[in-house]
Amino acid sequence: MTGGIVTENPVRTTRTKSEAKAQITDSAAREIVKAEVDRRELKTRQLREARLLLEAQQVEEAPPKRRVKSTARMAGSRAGR
């Protein structure tokens, strides 16, 4: 057996020109989508925090509600019949 070192790899490891361009386009598209998702999540978090703060302020400032007797409402609604 004469042992020789094989210098050629039977499996192709280099990309073709079209594969390289496709990879560049794919990675660029993924970066754009990720940036959009990050912006949307940031905006959602900020809006949620603002809403919770506003709701907390409204609860503190809300005056107690006056209750209306149910009999008074029913008598008024039947008067038109």
What type of residue sits at position 28? A
**What pLDDT sits at residue 61?**
76
Cα–Cα distance measured from residue 79 to residue 69, given in angstroms and rounded to the nearest whole number: 16
Each residue's pLDDT expressed in tens, for the chain with a length of 81 residues: 556 665 666 666 777 899 999 999 999 999 999 999 999 999 999 999 999 999 999 887 767 777 776 665 555 555 555
Cα–Cα distance measured from residue 37 to residue 45, given in angstroms and rounded to the nearest whole number: 12
Show me where the domains of the chain are located.
17-62
